[in-house]
Amino acid sequence: MGTDRCMVLLLLFIFFLVLTVCVRAQRTNTTTTEFTFRGFTGNQSLIQLSEAAMIKPDGLLRLNDRKPKVTGTAFYNKPVRLLETSGNSTTVASFSTSFVFVIIPTSTSNGGFGFTFTLSPTPDRPAADAAQFLGLLNRDNDGKLTNHVFAVEFDTVQGFEDVSDRSGNHIGLNFNSLKSNYQEPVVYYDSDESDRKEDFLLQSGDPIHALLDYDGPTQTLNFTVYPARLKSKPLRPLISQRVPNLLQIVQEEMYVGFTAATGRDESSAHYVMGWSFSSGVDRPLAQPLNLSDLPTPPPNIAKNTGYDPQVLALIVALSGVTLILLGLLFFFLMYKKRLQRGEILEDWEINHPHRLRYKDLYAATDGFNANRIIGTGGFGTVYRGSFSSSSVDQIAVKKITPNSMQGVREFVAEIESLGRLRHKNLVNLQGWCKHKNDLLLIYDYIPNGSLDSLLYTRPRQSGAVLSWNPRFQIAKGVASGLLYLHEEWEKIVIHRDVKPSNVLIDDNMNPRLGDFGLARLYERETLSRTTVIVGTIGYMAPELTRNGKSSTASDVFAFGVLLLEIVSGRRPTDSGTFFLADWVMELRETGDILPAVDPRLGSGYDSSEAKLALSVGLLCCHQRPASRPSMRMVIRYLNGEEDIPEIEDHWGYSEHSSRRSKFEGYVSSDKASSSSVASFSVTRVSSSSVIMSGR
C-alpha cells in the first residue's frame, strides 16, 4: 500500500510537472530578439533602408541628409514579436532599446524636422511625408487606429498644426499619430538625488544617448535621453509613464527602427551611431553602448557657421571682398575729407609757398558765412575774414569757380609770381588755395571800398562827392600800379580788367589795383579754335574783338576809359546812345573840353589838371594799339614831365567812316554783341564782367 501511494504521488507530481511546463509553454508565445550594432559596418544586410537612408562607409547610419523635404527610414529587417498571450489575456512584452544619435542642423538656429524611434507593422514607411510627418505618416493616415505605429519623436521644430508641440526641442510619445500623447522638453536629471534638471539641445551636433525601457507587467515605459559625453546615465528617466494603449498598437509581428525627415526650410542630417535592442526575456536590458566603441561621430559642420564648406568658402570670399570694399571706401572717404581740407595736393600744387590751407580759410571766414560777404561780382564772391582776432590781420577771400582746371593751373603758376608782387598801388595777394572746383584767392583787406563806390554810390547816398585832388591822385596811383605790372616787375603782367570796381581805396585814399590777371582764368583757346576773351563792356579795346589778344595796350585803353570816368564822373556807356570817349572827343573838337568835367565838382577842380587828364584819357583810347602811350609815358604826361603829342588823325578813325568806326572803337563789346551776332557771343558772368568769344 505504501509503495502504491508513493507511486501515485510520484505520477501525480510528474503529471503536474508536465502540465505546468505545458501551460507555461502555451502562455509565452514570444521569441527573443536581441541585437547590438556598434556602428553598422558589416551589418548592412540586417537593416532595411528606404528613401534617403544609407549606411556610410565609416559605419554611421545616416537617416537623411540635409536636402529639403526628404525622408529616410531604417528598420531591423526581422520582425519582433512583442505580443504575449497568457490564457485568454494578451499583453505587450517587455522590451529595451538603447541608441546613440547625432543631429547636424543647417545652422545652429535652423534645423529640422526630426526623427523617431518607431514600432511599425512594416519594415518601411511607404507614402510617409516629410517635414512634420517625420517620414512616419502622412496627412491622410495621421491619427488612424489602423496605423499600428508607436513612435518616440525627437522633434526639433516647434508646433505641428495644432501647436500641441509646445517646445521645438522636445520628446513625444506618439500613438498612431504625430500628435504626441506625452511630451517633454529635452532635459536630463542630474545623477544626484535632487530634482535638478539640465536642458540641452537635440540638434547640438553632439552624440546623444537615448534609452527606452518598457516593462510589460506594469505597462510602464521609461525614457531617458542625455548627452553621450556624460560618464553615467541619469538615474531618473525623463519620462516614466504607463502606456496601456500600446496594446492597441502592437501586432503579432512588429518592426523596430527609425524614421526621419527634413522640412522645406528647416533641415538637419540625422545619424544613428549605434543601436542595441532586446526583447522576449523576463527583464530585458539592451546592451549598453560605450561611445568609445562606436564610429566617430559625423563632423559637426553646423556648430559655428551652420553652412556647408562651399557656402562657407563663398561667405569667406564675399566677406573678404566686402572688407576690401569697405577698406577702399574708408580710404576714399579719408581722401575726400583731406581733399576737402585741401591737404591732398595734385602734383602741380606742391611747392607753392603761397598756397594756404582750406581749413584755415574756412576758420578765418566763419565757414564762408553769408554775413561775411563783402562783395559779389567780378569773378566771384568776396568774404571778409581774419586769421587772428586782431582786426589788423583782416583778409579778403575771393572765391571763384573757374570753368577749367587748366586755367587754374596756368593762373596759379602766374600767381606764384604774382604773390611776390609788392607795390603800394596793388592789392597784396597773400596766397591762394584750391578747394574742389573753387579757387580761393586771399588778399589784404582794403577797408574803404572801391573807386566805383566812391564815384557813384557814396555821392548818391550821402552827397559826399569825391573831390578833385583825390581823384587826380587816384588816377596817378592806378597808372603807377599798372606801370609796375607792365614794366617794373620781372615779368610783364597784363591786368586784363582795369575798371573802377577793381580799384580799391585804402585808408590814405591810396588806390590799389586788384584782381590783376584774374581774367586769364577765363581766357582760353576752345576746341573750336575760338578765342575766349574776357573783359568788361566799355573798357575793352577794339582790337580785342578782332584778335582776342590781351596786351599792355589793351590795359592802357581800359585805363584811358577809367581816366575819363574819374574826371567826368560818368560811366563809359549807358544803354546805347552815350559813349564817354566819343562824347569827350566831340567836346574836344569843339575846342572846349572842360564841360566834360564832373559837374558835381562845380568849380572845385584844377582846370589844367583836368584838361591834362582828359587828353591823356583820349590818347589812351586811341583806336590803334600802337598809337596808345605806354604807362610810363602816361605817368610822365600826368606828372607834366612830358607834353602830350598832338593827335591829328582823329585817333585812328578815317573821316568818311567815322561814325561806324567810332562805335567800333569805343563801344567795343557791348554794341558788338548785338550788331554782329554772327561772329561774337557775349556771356555775362557778373554784373560787370563779360566773357566774350569770337572766331
Ligand X SMILES: *[C@@H]1O[C@H](CO)[C@@H](O)[C@H](O)[C@H]1NC(C)=O
Helical pair 580-589 and 607-620, crossing angle rounded to 10 deg: 120
- Interface with ligand X includes 29 (CB under 6 A)? yes
Is the CB of 46 or the CB of 317 nearer to ligand X?
46
Is the CB of 179 or the CB of 197 nearer to ligand X?
197
Is the CB of 76 or the CB of 651 nearer to ligand X?
76
Nearest distance from C-beta of residue 228 to ligand X, angstroms: 11
57, 87, 126, 463: which one contacts ligand X (CB under 6 A)? 87
Detail the residues annotated as belonging to a binding site: 399
Is the CB of 271 or the CB of 362 nearer to ligand X?
271
Q: Which residues pair with 115 in a beta bridge?
A: 154, 260
> What is the rounded CA–CA span in Å between residue 11 and residue 24?
20
Is the CB of 296 or the CB of 526 nearer to ligand X?
296
Q: How many helices (H) and strands (E) does the chain have?
A: 15, 30
Nearest distance from C-beta of residue 246 to ligand X, angstroms: 13
Q: What is residue 350's three-state secondary structure?
A: coil
- Interface with ligand X includes 89 (CB under 6 A)? yes
108, 220, 300, 510: which one contacts ligand X (CB under 6 A)? 220
H-run or E-run covering 322: helix 309-340
- Interface with ligand X includes 46 (CB under 6 A)? yes
Nearest distance from C-beta of residue 168 to ligand X, angstroms: 26
Q: What is residue 173's three-state secondary structure?
A: strand
Cβ density class 253-285: b for 16+ within 10 Å, e for less: ebbbbbbbbbbeebbbbbbbbbbbbbbbeeebe
Detail the residues annotated as belonging to a binding site for ATP: 399
Phi, psi of 496 (to 5 degrees): 75, -10
Site for ligand X in 271-290 (CB under 6 A): 288, 290
123, 237, 378, 617: which one contacts ligand X (CB under 6 A)? 237
- Interface with ligand X includes 88 (CB under 6 A)? yes
- Interface with ligand X includes 222 (CB under 6 A)? yes
Nearest distance from C-beta of residue 25 to ligand X, angstroms: 7
Nearest distance from C-beta of residue 150 to ligand X, angstroms: 16
Q: Is 497 part of the annotated catalytic residue set? A: yes
Residue whose C-alpha is closest to residue 382's, from 500, 515, 493, 478: 515
- Interface with ligand X includes 213 (CB under 6 A)? yes
Beta strands in 29-94 (DSSP E): 33-38, 47-51, 54-55, 61-64, 71-76, 83-86, 89-92
Catalytic residue among 213, 215, 444, 497: 497
- Interface with ligand X includes 437 (CB under 6 A)? no
Q: Which residue is nearest to ligand X (CB)?
A: 42
> What is the rounded CA–CA span in Å between residue 86 and residue 29?
9
Site for ligand X in 386-425 (CB under 6 A): none
The residues, ordered by sequence, that sit 6+ positions from 513 with a Cβ below 8 Å of its Cβ are 425, 426, 427, 478, 481, 482, 485, 495, 498, 502, 503, 504
Q: What is residue 364's three-state secondary structure?
A: helix
Nearest distance from C-beta of residue 211 to ligand X, angstroms: 9
CA atoms in the 13 A half-sphere facing the CB of 523: 19
Count residues binding ligand X (CB under 6 A). 20
- Interface with ligand X includes 42 (CB under 6 A)? yes
Is the CB of 238 or the CB of 631 nearer to ligand X?
238
The residues that are catalytic are: 497
Q: Which residues bind ligand X (CB under 6 A)?
A: 29, 35-37, 42-43, 46, 87-89, 213, 215, 220, 222, 236-237, 240, 288, 290, 292
